[in-house]
Amino acid sequence: MAEDIGDGAKAEQFAQPTGFAFDAVSEAEITKVVAKYPPGRQASAVIPLLYIVQEQMKRSSGSAWVPRVAMDAVAQKLEMPPMRVYEVATFYLMFNTRPIGQFHLQVCTTTPCWLRGSDAVTAACRKATGIQGWGETSADGMFTMTEVECLGACVNAPILQVDNDFYEDMDAERTEALIAALRRGERPPAGSMAGRQGSAPEGGPTTLTSLDAQPAE
């Protein structure tokens, strides 16, 4: 059943599953999340629940997305109108309302990342995966590349977020290497790919390098 959900995106045809049920892992997480909100306010848990759905879809189908039936399941769980769930799920770009590849390459192209070379990261992603444009999935079904707004890690720009992991200080070469590693089934540790610690200066500390305290004159 390919239905047009009219969300303004390209009229790409894909199949919506006809049913969705939370599995045991999800149910356990839902209980934990819903307990954080006062009784009668459980609708506040809609965003965490959509994440739980997306993770369950990743576990069960290999593609982290939120099908429409799952939004209905969330609505039923939280006793809210389905439309209110649709609104949230389509508003936040973190929720994929259509199937994606095994790995979700999210390139930040906001000004700091762009100044620091996000164009090169994008080009490298294209080259390594064969993807042409934003939102597309590679022919082998492994990668989907999307453009995202500021990820809030500008000090380590540019950023390539793969699924939930931030890979920082990217350039073309590191991007291609990362994608090659993902293809091999490896998952390099997240963080700075330039080897610095957190957002500390490259090549080691530049301040507080000695223990001698110089009192101000």
Interface residues with other proteins (CB under 8 A) are: 3-9, 68, 81-84, 86-87, 90-91
Which own/partner pairs from 199-208 qualify as long-range (CB within 8 Å, at least 24 positions apart)?
A: 199/153, 199/155, 199/156
Residue type, 42: Q
CB of 61 to other proteins, least distance (A): 21
CB of 10 to other proteins, least distance (A): 12
CB of 192 to other proteins, least distance (A): 31
85/178 with CB nearer other proteins = 85
CB of 72 to other proteins, least distance (A): 9
Helix residue spans in the chain (DSSP H): 24-34, 46-61, 68-78, 82-91, 111-115, 118-129, 172-183
Residue 109: how many CB atoms within 10 A of its CB? 17
Which own/partner pairs from 212-217 qualify as long-range (CB within 8 Å, at least 24 positions apart)?
A: none
58/84 with CB nearer other proteins = 84
Beta-ladder partners of 136: 145
CB of 27 to other proteins, least distance (A): 25
Give the C-alpha separation, 154 to 169, whole Å.
Answer: 10
91/180 with CB nearer other proteins = 91
8/38 with CB nearer other proteins = 8
83/213 with CB nearer other proteins = 83
Give the C-alpha separation, 214 to 208, whole Å.
Answer: 11
Nearest alpha carbon to residue 178 among 141, 26, 165: 165
CB of 85 to other proteins, least distance (A): 9
85/170 with CB nearer other proteins = 85
**133 alpha carbon, distance to own chain's centre:** 17
Please, what sign has the CA dihedral across residues 44, 45, 51, 56? negative
